[in-house]
Chain A
Amino acid sequence: MRSHPTAWLFAAPALFGLLAFVALPFVLAIGLAFTNLRLGSPLPTEFVGLEQFRRIFADDAFLRALLNNTSFALVVVPLQTGLALLLALLLNRRLAGMTWFRTLFFMPVVFPLSLVAVVWVLIFAPGANGMMNAMLEVVTFGIWMPRDFLHDPVLALPAIMLTSIWQGMGFQMVIILAGLQAIPHELYEAAAIDGASRWRQLVHVTLPQLRNTLIFVVLVTTILSFRLFDQVQIMTQGGPHNATTTAMYEAVQAAFSRQQVAKGSAITVVLFVIVLLIAWLQRRLLRQEREIV
């Protein structure tokens, strides 16, 4: 157990990078959030205690942002996970052409979000010519009246949700598929001998075995919901009337357009606390599982 002289040399570049560009900014975030720092401001920077936090929690736009992030998570997480699970179950059969389908459903994942957002702006184009409007008109037999999705206070956020589901579903599908393939075959054979139907096999074998994979996928998607930014910046810029603003969009607006670094830092500290809570929940849920087994 002697210390290796070159070990530090091996680890040093990576550790330096992590300390300088993750740990230091993280400490800085907490520090800055308690000041009134504005870039280019002639006033001296002062310690203001919890003032920034009091301000952001009294700020309607920020509260709306948190609400939007939360509703995004509440809608996107179950829909996206459900769809990914369904597709993974369909694809996890020894039928011809399944690899083709997997490739196809995974393809949107490699598309940069900025490009996806731009393409979906056209899909949601207002008027009867818009792809989404035309499609809805066909499936409702002409009852649907064309709407301007991205400028509609009610429809703008769902439009962004749909865009995100399209892009992100394949990611979860592949993880769930890997989880499915790790389930030992004997379990299904035993269930079949006991005369369990396909449905009962799904409920009593597949889903319990997938528990950890599903917890992981759900919590990662929840965290992603609180990091939402690219689509908002390109498709709606937080509008109309803050209907699609998000915590990250507010942080960037504060730090970047209004030079309020302290306020932006306070928002990101709140964001980090949320992410930490979700990660903590994940660890707890997974630990519970280990105790049972």
Chain B
Amino acid sequence: MSGGKGALAIVLHAHLPYVRHPEYPDFLEEDWLYEAITETYLPLLEAFDRCVDDGVPFRITMTLAPPLVSMLRDELLMSRYAKRLDALCELCDKEVHRTRGDAHYGPLAWHYRDHHYHLRRLFHDRYKRDLVGAFKRLQDAGALEIITCGATHGFLPLMAHPEAVRAQIQVACNHYRMHFGRDPRGFWLPECGYAPGIDKFLAAENIRFFFVDSHALANAVPRPRRGVYAPVFTPSGVAAFARDPESSMQVWSAETGYPGDGAYREFYRDIGYDADYEYIRPYIQATGDRKNVGIKYHRITGKVPLSDKAIYDPKAAAAKADEHAADFLFNRTRQIEYLRTAFGSGGPPPIVVSPYDAELYGHWWFEGPIFIEKLIRKIAYDQDVLQLQSPVDYLAEYPEQQVAQPPMSSWGAGGYSAVWLDECNDWIYRYLHKATERMIDLARDYPDASGVERRALNQAARELLLAQSSDWAFIIKTGTMVDYAVRRTREHLLRFTRLYEQLKAHQLDEPWLTSVEASDNLFSEIDYRVYRPAAAS
């Protein structure tokens, strides 16, 4: 360690399921992307760029999951996003007019107007509508370590075929190389879902590290001597870093986490629901149903009804984010000092790994990007106990680590598969397993296809990957947007099945294939032979 007593690895996992519906002019679930761009990705990019511009040294690890990269580089979705941002700016103008003379809401309306106009300038002028390129520049500048993830965020421990695991990993790594111009060095296992043997497929792509939940290292064999505060090398040589429970809870906890502070912006009080219907009608769903539009005038306040929420004060909220960043850093420095003393000085210093879903910052916790930027600056200037590092930096500095085998585990509720394998969603696995078996069968039957057959085989691989997304089982389990998750699972499986049957019968419907390729258009570089039988590899 070039300075300090330990390392802090902040890991932001940016992932959204692939949602793209060209068949509709407007589709509710596409809002996940648009809101995440406005509330998370643009603010985070700006925070990182501001630090780089100011010469503040930092290292953050960030997953950009392949479906998200694909969507952020999809011209249709970016065009739709640009229109959405235009509409939001227009609504902000109307709000400024509507609240003129109101001492409370008027200044807030101006605040939102300035904020969204600024984001629009960032999107078009600074980042040229290419956010992946903007993240890549931060990686090239040494500020970010961008890692990849399962191709479609499939939950790997429940895949019955090694070929399916290999495909999720290999397709993702190839996709990363295409967009970032180098090999990925780290891998975010979807849902931190690990099972012995998965590391072997990571090693085949020369991945050097991945993340597991705390209990995966606590229960590893042999018992890791430094618990979750040092990585272990799995039997393939890929390092597993574990989530630190405490720093996770400080941000994630439903009861004690920072995002629940009363000063922060209230997510659920949005003028999409509050405003007069005719007034807000042009900005809500095409069906006429209300939805969040992103202008929220109230703060969390406390455990009070939505109607009793107090008015939001951006300056007070920013001050609170600053205070929380200081508190977070204070606890990390104490933690690292304690661990350093406990470990002694004979070995590597401790590393505290703090992973979060990136969309927590900004989307759910509006002030999250401020927190991150303040934390980066405080770490750079206000202490000398810890250093921000990516796991790859730590491994470069300390290449000698303990060997251990973590058990099957995940970061979901209960720590294993219970979220993705439950009475409400277990029906999907018999179909996923059958489709995987059939895809392997196709790859065996067509060792070197060309022309329209190759297109059909590649599309079959895409449909299978899309059906495997862990988001569908997760959404079914959590009970939100269930119909959409069921629909997506079924549609991809059925499209796969049709392609399989047509390939088996040598009767391809090329016009239909073309239309499916246009809809489910991610992974242009895919090669269906990633599903070749493992024994033949």
Q: A and B: real partners?
A: no
